[in-house]
Amino acid sequence: MYRRTHVHRRIPGGFLSFEDAGAKTRVYGFGYGDHIQMRDQQGNVWRGSAEQGPDETVRYRFHGPAGLVITGMSDSWGMTLRDDRGRIWRGFFE
pLDDT by 10s per residue, the chain, length 94: 555 554 545 566 689 888 987 888 898 999 887 889 999 888 999 999 988 888 878 899 999 988 889 999 987 778 899 988 888 989 887 7
Q: Is residue 3 part of a domain?
A: no
Residue at 35 is within a domain? yes
Domain count, the chain: 1
Q: Is residue 5 part of a domain?
A: no
- Residue 49: DSSP 8-state: E
| Spacing of C-alpha 40 from chain mean position | 14
Domain assignment present for residue 1? The answer is no
Q: CA of 80: how far to CAs of 72, 75, 88, in Å? A: 6, 9, 7
* Phi, psi (rounded to 5 degrees) for 65: -65, 150
Q: Is residue 80 part of a domain?
A: yes
Instruction: Kindly state whether residue 50 falls inside one of the protein's structural domains.
Output: yes
Q: What pLDDT does residue 61 have?
A: 93
**What is the residue range of 45's domain?**
13-93
Q: Give the separation between CA 78 and CA 72, rounded to whole angstroms.
A: 11
